[in-house]
Amino acid sequence: MKKNDSNIKKAIKYLNNNQCIAIPTETVYGLAANAYSKKAVTRIFKLKRRPRNNPLIVHYYNLKDLKKDCEINNTFSKLYKNLCPGPISFVLKLKKISRISKIITNNSNSIAVRFPRHRLTRKLLKKIKFPLAAPSANISNSISPVSKQDVIDEFGHKLKFILDGGPSKVGLESTIINLIGKPQILRLGGIESKKIYKLINSLKNNFKKKNKVKVPGTSKLHYSPGIPMRLNAKKNFYNEAFILIKKRKKYNKNYFYLSKTNNLKEAAKNLYRTLRTIKKNGYKKIAIEPIPNFSIGEAINDRIIRASKK
């Protein structure tokens, strides 16, 4: 049996026993458990030390599975057809007959759902008889994990199993879009907003009006590296780690490059890994040069602005 297949078997065993495991996704690693089981989902909240009022995203294999729990509409169908599986989450209405554990949604009748693209996790989802609740596999308010080692650094021996799928390809969390009532982007993320605007024209104006809906996962501290971070820096001060996107001629041991070629996708993929490396190296301060604010650069800026808030 191939190694991946035997690991998927192991993963299924843990999940069937209401345990939490870490799973790879293209955005970040998730801390996954059976979304139909109160016992399993409670373990996610405990392990992550996540406040109960912060709802979890539920991961499905396909539309057929989703329809057992959620109401869908035309906008959803269009986005699903064009963007899924992929780094986008949808807030939908829960069906009354849904089996989703109520603690996932904090007793609300709306739910955030996603169809992850990672090959191993899709294989896993196809084989189990329940969807997976899976927030990022980190202690609440710390940096999201983008590799197996990051997950080990977060939970150590407390987490029994990690399905290793290599480094996350996107490296930032999913874009979240509310599809109850007028569509609205609630969090920028892995799918650039321009791609979504192309599919739903009316959305653009709606987002520009400033997002007033309180989304728990978008609280100030959510993506904090735990040390002060200075944005739009032109240079770094003594002992400050300096995160750069554009190559500089001069070498400096405190420079950390997000991309070799000034590429925003590559920068997004490397952001969380770089923040972790800087922390591990014992720096007490970070400076970061301006990140272009288009395509996935918008989501990078969203995260570093939050990370820079105290």
- Residues of the shown chain interacting with ligand AMP in the complex, contacts defined by CB under 6 A: 54-55, 57, 91, 105, 108, 110-112, 135-136, 173, 176, 186, 215-218
**Sheet of strand 184-187: strand arrangement:** 21-23, 30-34, 132-133, 57-59, 110-114, 88-93, 175-178, 184-187
Query: Which C-beta is closer to Mg ion: that of 87 or that of 259?
Result: 87
- How many chain residues touch Mg ion (CB under 5 A)? 1
Cα 38 to Cα 52, 88, 101, 236, 297, distances in angstroms? 13, 25, 5, 48, 38
- Contact yes or no for 140/49 (Cβ under 8 A): yes
Peptide bond into 55 cis (omega under 30): no
Of 131 and 135, the one with the shorter C-beta distance to Mg ion is 135
SS3 label, residue 160: coil
Q: Report, in Å, the least distance between residue 20 CB and Mg ion.
A: 14
Q: Residue 136 Cβ, how far from Mg ion at the closest point, in Å?
A: 3
Closer CB to ligand AMP, 144 or 308, in the complex: 144
Q: Residue 103 touches which of ligand AMP, Mg ion, none (CB < 5 to 8 A by kind)?
A: none
Q: In 10 A of CB 95, how many CB atoms?
A: 15
Binding segment for Mg ion among 88-96, 130-138, 158-166, 183-191 (CB under 5 A)? Answer: 130-138
DSSP 112-138: EEE----HHHHHHHHHSSS-EE--BSS
Which of these segments, 2-10, 128-136, 278-286, 288-296, binds Mg ion (CB under 5 A)? 128-136
Residue with tokens 């069906």: 95
Binding partner of residue 11 among ligand AMP, Mg ion, none, CB cut-off 5 to 8 Å per kind = none
- Taking the least distance from each CB to ligand AMP, the nearer of 101 and 136 is 136
Distance of closest approach, residue 122 Cβ to Mg ion, in angstroms: 21
**Taking CB within 5 to 8 Å according to partner kind, which of Mg ion, ligand AMP, none is near residue 216?**
ligand AMP
CB of 187 to ligand AMP, least distance (A): 6
Question: Is the distance from CB of 197 to CB of 188 less than 8 angstroms?
Answer: no
Out of Mg ion, ligand AMP, none, what residue 131 binds, judged by CB under 5 to 8 A for its kind, is none
Please report, for residues 30, 47, 231, 290, the alpha-carbon distance to residue 300 in angstroms, rounded to integers and kept in the order given. 19, 27, 12, 11
How far apart are alpha carbons 73 and 223 in whole angstroms? 32
Query: Minimal distance in Å, beta carbon 113 to ligand AMP?
Result: 9
At closest approach, how far in Å is the CB of 89 from ligand AMP? Answer: 6
> Helix H segments across 169-296?
193-199, 203-208, 264-280
Rounded (10°) angle between helices 264-280 and 297-308: 30
Q: Which residue has 């197996």 as its token pair?
A: 148
Shortest distance, position 181 Cβ to ligand AMP, whole Å? 12
Q: Counting contacts by CB under 5 A, is residue 136 touching Mg ion?
A: yes
The entry of Mg ion, ligand AMP, none that residue 176 binds, CB within 5 to 8 Å by partner kind: ligand AMP
- Per CB under 5 A, residues contacting Mg ion are 136
